[in-house]
Structure 1
Amino acid sequence: MRTAFGQEFDVPEGYLNTASIGIPPADAGAAVAAAVAGWRAGAGSPGDFDEPVARARAGFADLVGVAAERVAIGPAASALVGLVAAAVPDGTRVLAAEGEFTSVTWPFAAQAGRGVTVTEVDLADVGARAGEFDLVAVSVVQSADGRVVDLDALRAARDGGTRVLLDATQSLGWLDVDVSWADAVVAAGYKWLLSPRGVAWMAVRPDLPTHANAAGWYAGADPWTAIYGLPMDLATDARGLDTSPAWYCQAGAAVALPWLAGLDRAAVHAHCAGLADTVRAGLGMEPAGSAIVAVRRPDAAERLAAAGVVSANRAGAARLAFHLYNTEADAARALDALT
């Protein structure tokens, strides 16, 4: 058991795979276990989960820097991005990064029948090209290699009229940046937000067109009176985009997200990126200020696995990811394996 930033984590030595699956704080895991135990014993009631859903929503809002009324809940990032993609006008021109995670690009590519086009450019060119397009859809931090998009350039493009949708799945929870200005900020919970898989959130600006094409009872102005019949009475804020919550997943998120939101973001960023840059320096790479390191060396994945380092293979590289529960010993183990 490790202690980090005031929480305990049952994380093994050499676990450097948060970019795939985050390890929850012990309290968050216990909350999920208690919720499942109540389910097994027939002691749970649907209304019991309204409070955890609200707490997780508020935690996400605090992490992004917006009001909770601007946050919608969903099961995965692509499902929430799809609510935006379904509402863009016919012929919308979308800009994306080459090799972008498909949960960001495919919801827009699926609108090709309406004349929606998606143009891919190198990540380094996204900021400079943004003003040529109607909407930019891009990850703040690239999943495959940890590169960070030029947020200042995107913010300037937005001031010029380009809509900006950011996927913060690989950044929110460790990266100390302001994304509250974006038209939409989406993130899945099961990586850096240390929540169970099955929960995601999206912060949307009130003037961003969206399409509630997955509307159900939980999107109602009063969900508990919106269970049967018509007419449809959607909530007038972002809750009108909600899908029915994954209760047991939300129980864990209700612990993890408010805790993350209360941390010193700069200290978390310095810790995570500092460990990653230690590995970069040991491998002769330039510092990047990112918590994700892509190692493109022969047999890197095999060497890491043999040393007990848990990593991932992405885009032809061994991917290492350092979160707040990782230590200098984890970085040293990875370097020993690779050098």
Structure 2
Amino acid sequence: MRSAFGQEFDVPDGYLNTAGIGIPSAAAADAVESAVRDWRTGAGRPGDFEQPVQLARAAFAGLVGFDVERVAIGSAVSELVGLVAASVPDGTRVLVASGEFTSVSWPFAAQSARGVTVTVAEPAELGERAADHDLVAVSVVQSADGRVADLDALRAARASGTRVLLDASQSLGWFDADLSWADVVVAAAYKWLLSPRGAAWMAVRPELELVPTSAGWYASADRWADIYRMPMRLAPDARSLDTSPAWYSHVGAAAALPWLAGLDRAAVHAHCVGLADRFRAALGMEPAGSAIVAVRTPEAMERLTAAGVVASGRAGAARLAFHLYNTEADSARALAALT
């Protein structure tokens, strides 16, 4: 068991795979276990999950700098980005990064029958090319190799009239940056937010009118009163975009996200990036200011696996991720395997 930033983690030595699956705190895991136990014994009730959903929603709002009324819940990033993609006008011109995670790019590509076009550019070019497009959709930190988006350039592009959608799944929880200026910010729970898979959130500005194509009882103005009623009465805020929550995922998120939102973000950022950049330096790589490191040396994944290091193979590289529960000992084990 490790202690990190006031929580206990049952994370094994050499675990450097948070970019794939984050490890929950003991408190978050215990909360989920308790809820599952209630389910198993028939003690759970639907109303029991209202508070966890709201706690996690409010904490996400705090993490991204939006009002809680502007946050919708879903189960995956692609589902939430899909709401945006289905709502953009016919002929919308979308710009995405080369190598972008497909949960960000494909929902827009799926709208091609309406004349929606998707153009691919190098990440460093997005800011300068944004003016020729209606919307830029990009990850704050790229999943494959940890490249950090030029947020200043994207913010300037938005000020000039281009909409900006940010996927913060690989950054929220360690990256200290202001995202409150974006039109849309989405993120999944199960990576750096250290929560169970099955929860995701989207913060969206009120002037961006989205069609609630999956509207159901949870998007209602009064959920329990409207479950059998017509005509439709949607919530007056971003809750109108909600889909029914994966209960146990939100129980874990309600324990994890408020804690993360209350941390000194600069300290977390310095810890994670410090570990990653020192690791990069030991391999003769330049610092990148990212908690994700892509190693392309021959047989890197095989060497890491043999040494008991848990990493991911992505885009032809071994991807290592350094989160707040990682230590210099984890880095040393990986370095010994690679050098």
Map 1:1-339 → 2, pairs under 5 A: 1-339=1-339
- Partner letter of residue 314 of structure 2? R
Q: CA deviation at 1:66?
A: 1.2
Kept in 2, the 8 Å contact 1:75–1:200? The answer is yes
Q: CA deviation at 1:174?
A: 0.3
Using the alignment, how far apart are the partners of 1:30 and 1:96 within structure 2? 39
Say which SS state the counterpart of residue 87 (structure 2) adopts: coil
Kept in 2, the 8 Å contact 1:95–1:130? The answer is yes
Using the alignment, how far apart are the partners of 1:277 and 1:226 within structure 2? 53
Using the alignment, how far apart are the partners of 1:60 and 1:174 within structure 2? 13
Q: CA deviation at 1:257?
A: 0.3
Kept in 2, the 8 Å contact 1:218–1:226? The answer is no
Kept in 2, the 8 Å contact 1:154–1:164? The answer is yes
Structure 1 regions of 5+ residues with no counterpart? none
Kept in 2, the 8 Å contact 1:10–1:26? The answer is yes
Which shifted more, 116-125 or 222-231? 222-231
Using the alignment, how far apart are the partners of 1:156 and 1:94 within structure 2? 17
Q: CA deviation at 1:131?
A: 1.4
- What do residues 154-191 of structure 1 show as CA deviations (whole Å, max 9, x unaligned)? 00010111000000000000000000110000000000
Q: CA deviation at 1:51?
A: 0.3
- Partner letter of residue 37 of structure 2? A
Which shifted more, 4-13 or 127-136? 127-136
Q: CA deviation at 1:278?
A: 1.0
- Partner letter of residue 195 of structure 2? S
Q: CA deviation at 1:222?
A: 1.1
Using the alignment, how far apart are the partners of 2:126 and 2:109 within structure 1? 18
- Partner letter of residue 165 of structure 2? L
- Partner letter of residue 34 of structure 2? A
Using the alignment, how far apart are the partners of 1:83 and 1:236 within structure 2? 17
Report the aligned-residue RMSD. 0.5
Kept in 2, the 8 Å contact 1:109–1:117? The answer is yes
Say which SS state the counterpart of residue 169 (structure 1) adopts: coil
Say which SS state the counterpart of residue 268 (structure 2) adopts: helix
Using the alignment, how far apart are the partners of 1:332 and 1:128 within structure 2? 40
Using the alignment, how far apart are the partners of 1:325 and 1:181 within structure 2? 30
Taking structure 1 as the reference length, the TM-score comes to 0.99
Structure 2 regions of 5+ residues with no counterpart? none
- What do residues 67-94 of structure 1 show as CA deviations (whole Å, max 9, x unaligned)? 1101000000000001110000000000
Q: CA deviation at 1:209?
A: 2.1
Using the alignment, how far apart are the partners of 2:132 and 2:77 within structure 1? 26
- What do residues 108-161 of structure 1 show as CA deviations (whole Å, max 9, x unaligned)? 001000000000001111111111110000000000000001000000010111
Using the alignment, how far apart are the partners of 1:247 and 1:149 within structure 2? 33
Q: CA deviation at 1:211?
A: 1.3
Report how many aligned residue pairs link the two structures. Answer: 339
- What do residues 202-231 of structure 1 show as CA deviations (whole Å, max 9, x unaligned)? 000000121100110000011111211311
Identity of aligned residues (%): 75
Using the alignment, how far apart are the partners of 1:127 and 1:335 within structure 2? 35
Kept in 2, the 8 Å contact 1:183–1:204? The answer is yes
Kept in 2, the 8 Å contact 1:171–1:192? The answer is yes
Which shifted more, 222-231 or 73-82? 222-231
Using the alignment, how far apart are the partners of 2:224 and 2:272 within structure 1? 42
Runs of 4+ off more than 6 Å: none
Using the alignment, how far apart are the partners of 2:29 and 2:213 within structure 1? 32
- Partner letter of residue 159 of structure 1? A
Using the alignment, how far apart are the partners of 2:268 and 2:305 within structure 1? 27
Kept in 2, the 8 Å contact 1:221–1:233? The answer is yes
Say which SS state the counterpart of residue 224 (structure 1) adopts: coil
Taking structure 2 as the reference length, the TM-score comes to 0.99
- Partner letter of residue 78 of structure 1? S
Using the alignment, how far apart are the partners of 2:272 and 2:308 within structure 1? 20
- Partner letter of residue 99 of structure 1? G
Using the alignment, how far apart are the partners of 1:162 and 1:220 within structure 2? 31
Say which SS state the counterpart of residue 95 (structure 2) adopts: strand
- Partner letter of residue 316 of structure 2? G
